Amino acid sequence: MTARRKDRLNIHIQGWLLALPAVVLLAAFTYIPAVKTVIDSLFATQVGSRPAPFVGLMQYESLIADPIFWRALHNNLLYALITVPLAIGLSLAMALWVNGRIGGRAGLRLAFFTPTILPMVAAANIWLFFYTQDYGLLNKIGIALGFANVNWLGDPATALPALMAVTIWKEAGFFMIFYLAALQQVPPDLYEAARMENTGRWQVFRRITWPMVMPTTLFVGINALINAFRVVDQVIAMTGGGPDNATTLLLFYIYQVAFSFWDLGYAAALSTVLLTALAAVALAQFFLLDRKIHYR
């Protein structure tokens, strides 16, 4: 073997050796568990030391017949449908404000961004107080304005929207910074040209700003969508899925089935559904975003 070929062989071996620790850990905690989740969903929950019997699609049959699963899925889709557009709209509005010439810009940016830094559990406990019946601030303001005293988290009609508000409150400021960066990338001569032609503000937004920040909107939208399917902290901290499963979301239900009921086979089937949903988002990202973003 010549020295050159030996060198090249060395590169292949060394390359794999460098990547090896990461590959082992990724396999152990991402790839194998993901595949095993799907396989486990085809088995019954293990009882005692006997191996769990193969049951085919039985877990999925009970899943289809399970009203709580449908409730969780419905809640989750609703959660995504409402929080994603609202978080996008608000974060863009915040970015437009903070990017323009406006008094007290630093204060505005701080007010919008700070919730992002807070742990969700801490935020949830603060909002819990905010929502309390009788003496929570929200009800105090409401009563002063002549509205009824609402048990925000105790009423099935308001509990889920109350959780959505916390999510949007925490997310919007985070997404704002991506819009801010995008707004600063818009070539100034576009606005200059619009000014020459005396274009109205709305037209400028619709014809220049909105199309120019489109890649950011896609990026933010995908991220908000993924987050919507991974919401769980505030459910555990604020409602425990109640009242009457009004705030049960997919990941919370998986957590409950796996770690409160210890029904592992069924939890695996539920996890498979969630993995499928995330895979669908991943595919959407692949087709929508890959044109705009360079991975290499």
Partner 1 sequence: MKPARVLPLSTLAAWAFALLWALPLLYALWAAFHPAAYATRFEITAPLTLENFEHAWGAAPFPRYFLNTILLVLGIMLAQFVICTLAAFGLARWKFYGADILFALILIQLMVTPDVLILENYRTLQKLGLIDTLVGVGIPYVASAFGIFLLRQSFKSIPKELDDAARMEGASALQTIWRVYLPLAKPVYVAYGLVSVSYHWNNFLWPLIVTNSVETRPLTVGLQVFASVDQGVDWSVICAAALMTSGPLMIAFLVFQRAFIQSFLRAGIR
Cα–Cα distance for residue pair 180/103, rounded to 1 Å: 17
For residue 32, the minimal CB distance to partner 1 (Å) is: 8
Cα–Cα distance for residue pair 282/276, rounded to 1 Å: 10
- In terms of CB distance, is 73 or 267 closer to partner 1? 267
Q: CA-CA distances (angstroms) from residue 184 to 111, 156, 276, 291?
A: 21, 43, 37, 21
Please report which residue ranges of 118-240 form alpha helices under DSSP H: 120-131, 137-144, 156-185, 188-196, 201-204, 210-212, 214-229, 233-234
For residue 211, the minimal CB distance to partner 1 (Å) is: 17
- In terms of CB distance, is 94 or 228 closer to partner 1? 94
Omega within 30 of 0 (cis) for the link into 211: no
Q: Return the closest-CA partner of residue 79 out of 160, 156, 175.
A: 160
For residue 104, the minimal CB distance to partner 1 (Å) is: 7
- In terms of CB distance, is 44 or 120 closer to partner 1? 120
Task: Point out which residues pair with 43 in neighbouring strands.
Answer: 54
- Name the residue type at position 266: Y
Q: Give the torsion through C-alpha atoms of 76, 170, 108, 182, to 10 deg.
A: -70
- In terms of CB distance, is 77 or 177 closer to partner 1? 177
For residue 19, the minimal CB distance to partner 1 (Å) is: 4
For residue 149, the minimal CB distance to partner 1 (Å) is: 13
- In terms of CB distance, is 77 or 275 closer to partner 1? 275
Q: Return the closest-CA partner of residue 179 out of 79, 296, 87, 117.
A: 87
Q: CA-CA distances (angstroms) from residue 107 to 96, 119, 168, 170?
A: 15, 21, 20, 17
- In terms of CB distance, is 57 or 293 closer to partner 1? 293
For residue 267, the minimal CB distance to partner 1 (Å) is: 5
